[in-house]
Structure 1
Amino acid sequence: MTILAEGSLDNTARQLESTLKLPQNKAMLRSSFQNYSDIIQRKADGVRLNVNTAIFTNQDFPVKKSFQAISEQSYKVQTTPINFRDPTQATSLINKYVAQATMNRIATFVTPAFYISRANGKCPLTLLERAKKVFYDDKNMKIGEVDMMFQMAPFPYSRLENINAYAVELPYGLDRKTSMIVILPFKGESLAGVLNLMSKVPFSSIVQSLEDSEMEYVDEDILVYLPKFKISSDFNLNIVLSKIGIKDIFDYEKANLLGMFDHYLYLSRLIQKAEIEVNEEGTVAAAASGAAIQNKSTPPVFKANRPFLYFIVDKPTRSIVFAGKVTNPDNLK
């Protein structure tokens, strides 16, 4: 969307800039974007985060040279003209790119349309046992069973009164620069209520609370239970973006993308396809031994056996790179 803003003019550009909170200074925007991209794509011990962006254009309608130069120089995005008159070939080229970018996790990405993709994450927990465990709804009614994982370690943990929920942070890799933050509503609280409260506070305050907790309770063990899950989703974002202020770009009469092309076009669809798998593979957090905890008081228990939220977070930038919710155990595979 930031790159589209570079190719937009007039009210179309203003809506994108306002909603995305983009600075008016284009040089500052491009520099900040480059720095951000460099940080989140750094190599980390045990963690790999890939961010890939590509522009595929109709070969019959070339992109403006000025926009192509900005895309390549400031956003590291290559513009590839392809023959959309041959839908099979166009689909094959785009799907091949996305498959490579997501390490084949998303192999079939498009029928001729435009999509956006995110890759997967893994959780530093071990499988509790093969027996199923009960999963409840917001009203504490049994709605199914799940494969439950567990781990006891000094994970950052906090009780967040301002959003009526508990939070725990599960680090990825030894350098802990990427982590999964799980938000679990207090008993009796709904996930919708927590999300409403979260909309009123910056997400960085949750990250800060967990960091403060980690400093205050060094080496204090937390017993964490989390179900295994694998979720795929496919969203049309047009309606969502229109509701928050990005409207003209989807309107064929109002869209102004003349910064990209010499003729009038509009964005017909903006679709996100996502997949995440959280299981016991790739465990990096060491479990405390029985002897180490025998003389301690019972550690706090974080048991995600009811609806919860999860966020994959890049810690240096405090950026959310993946987010979702688990509400129904029947949808976890």
Structure 2
Amino acid sequence: MELSDTILARAERFVSSNFSRLKRPRIQKMKMAFIFILTYLCFFAPVHQAQPPSATISDLSLKNMDFAMNLYRRISTYHDKNIFFSPLSISTSFAALLMASDGVTREEILKGLNLEQLEKEDQPELIPELFQLLHENITQNGSLQLDQGMALFMRQQFGIQKTFKDQMKTFFNADITTVDFADTERSISLINDYIKQKTQGKVSEMLSGLNELTQLLLVSTIFFQGAWEMPFNPNFTENAAFYIDNYNIVQVPMMFKEDKFYTTEDVRLGARVLNLPYREGVSMLILLPNKDKDYTEIEEEITAQKFQNWIKKLQKTKLEVNMPKFKMERSYSLHTILPDMGITSIFSESANLTRLSKDGFFKVSEVLHKAVIEVDETGTTAAAATTIGIIPYSLPRTFTVNRPFFFFIYHEDTSSLLFMGRVIDPTKN
């Protein structure tokens, strides 16, 4: 017994004395991982059952990104105009509806949102908890101006399940309101006022009409305003040509900035990539097709894996960046788009929303999504004076965004895609 104790004591001293020497360079990273693990434990499970949350959040972000690409391709089939939406806002809304659905309806939502592999039978609230944890991770320091709103507007006689109502409040901070849809004018005013508040006045009227037979209306809004880490000087902004195609050219306010930027090139895809960081760990990634490449060929090839590869291959380079100012306000009736992605029964008479209410049979009549963005020179004055060394005597390369391009706004730590869009004509709002 004493011999065993002696061996154990020696082993402990060996580990203790060598840990700091061998692992010192990794201590800072381990501290960060530990913080995430603690946060995870608070929301998910006892210590002995816990799994590293960073991997799970990463999986959620990856799944949501592929959902975003699939949804983008569906939207793009309707028109060849500008596109802007928030895949995170949409998937978060339907993650909430997962708690209300069952059977085929639930299976369709999981499959359509690409979340099947995250589903665990013994943890029915895992996916909502993951979305909650992801949202708190993104907005934890409070400096990121990301206003995401969710609301359920229900007819007055709708007997909502208390469990579902409590879950919506807990995981999604949702606003749940009863509405007399028979009074369409008042209902429209109420819903539009909610949207106006959630978009900080940027979207004043989303609904123009409403079916008086509506049972349940899910509204998802998101508003983002970020300050560039390296703002553009408005004194350098000048009108320049933007080539919509070979036959259509428009004049747009083109911003200019010379500095060191992170960039890369996807030779196989035929496009260049530029990273423009906002403050507080959020960046815009621009994908610019080469001059001889049609953007329609590239949009079919964009995947979550490619996106992650671009981020990994970014290298700091001295660049002259020319980028157009643009403003977009886009709204979508998702109940006409999501059925193409396999989410159908929730909009039909076969909808299984038994966890929402047992007072009858209900379906989702409308799902409306609106996103607003404005890109200009604005940035923080402190960050404007960032002293990044310039390579002596090197001639700057140029990155001129003067033709249709794609953009993605993502949270760097979680690789979560907040927004994505396509700019065909910067002069069109």
Instruction: From 238, 253, 261, give the equivalent of 2:357.
Output: 261
Q: 1:201 to 1:294 in 2, by over 3 A?
A: closer
Alpha-carbon separation, structure 2, partners of 1:249 and 1:6: 13
* Alignment of 1:155 onto 2:248: no
Alpha-carbon separation, structure 1, partners of 2:147 and 2:222: 9
* Alignment of 1:14 onto 2:107: yes
Partner of 1:136: 243
Instruction: From 74, 77, 98, give the equivalent of 1:5.
Output: 98
Q: Deviation of residue 86 (structure 1)?
A: 2.5
Q: Secondary structure at the match of 1:53?
A: strand
Partner of 2:152: 55
**CA deviation profile, 1:164-203 (whole Å, cap 9, x unmatched):** 2111111111x4x111111101121111111111137453
Partner of 2:408: 311
* Alignment of 1:195 onto 2:299: yes
Q: How many residues align?
A: 319
Alpha-carbon separation, structure 1, partners of 2:294 and 2:345: 35
Q: Deviation of residue 224 (structure 1)?
A: 1.1
Q: Secondary structure at the match of 1:92?
A: helix
Alpha-carbon separation, structure 1, partners of 2:391 and 2:305: 39
Q: Secondary structure at the match of 1:187?
A: coil
Q: Deviation of residue 142 (structure 1)?
A: 5.0
Q: Percent identity?
A: 28
TM-score, normalised to structure 1, is 0.86
Instruction: From 167, 182, 185, give the equivalent of 1:88.
Output: 185
Alpha-carbon separation, structure 1, partners of 2:248 and 2:405: 15
Partner of 1:24: 119
Alpha-carbon separation, structure 1, partners of 2:379 and 2:386: 17
Q: Deviation of residue 69 (structure 1)?
A: 1.9
Q: Deviation of residue 61 (structure 1)?
A: 1.2
Q: Deviation of residue 15 (structure 1)?
A: 0.6
Q: Provide structure 1 residue ranges, at least 5 long, that are not aligned to the other structure.
A: none
Q: Secondary structure at the match of 1:306?
A: coil
Partner of 2:200: 103
Alpha-carbon separation, structure 1, partners of 2:292 and 2:235: 26
Instruction: From 121, 133, 136, give the equivalent of 1:38.
Output: 136
**CA deviation profile, 1:28-52 (whole Å, cap 9, x unmatched):** 223212211101222355x312222
Partner of 2:233: 126
Of 156-165 and 200-209, deviating more is 200-209
Q: 1:50 to 1:325 in 2, by over 3 A?
A: same
Q: 1:304 to 1:84 in 2, by over 3 A?
A: same
Partner of 1:302: 399
Q: Secondary structure at the match of 2:186?
A: helix
**CA deviation profile, 1:106-149 (whole Å, cap 9, x unmatched):** 1222235544322133553233646420111354x552111100
CA contact (8 A) 1:132 1:147 kept: yes
CA contact (8 A) 1:58 1:83 kept: yes
Q: Deviation of residue 280 (structure 1)?
A: 1.3
CA contact (8 A) 1:64 1:260 kept: yes
Q: Secondary structure at the match of 1:197?
A: coil
* Alignment of 1:207 onto 2:311: yes
Q: Deviation of residue 98 (structure 1)?
A: 1.9
CA contact (8 A) 1:126 1:151 kept: yes
* Alignment of 1:168 onto 2:265: no
TM-score, normalised to structure 2, is 0.68
Letter of the 1:137 counterpart: I
Say what the alpha-carbon RMSD is for the aligned residues: 2.5
**CA deviation profile, 1:57-100 (whole Å, cap 9, x unmatched):** 11211211221122122332242223323323322322222222
Letter of the 2:119 counterpart: Q
Letter of the 1:5 counterpart: L
**CA deviation profile, 1:291-323 (whole Å, cap 9, x unmatched):** x75943112211000111111111111111111
CA contact (8 A) 1:138 1:188 kept: no
Q: Deviation of residue 17 (structure 1)?
A: 1.0
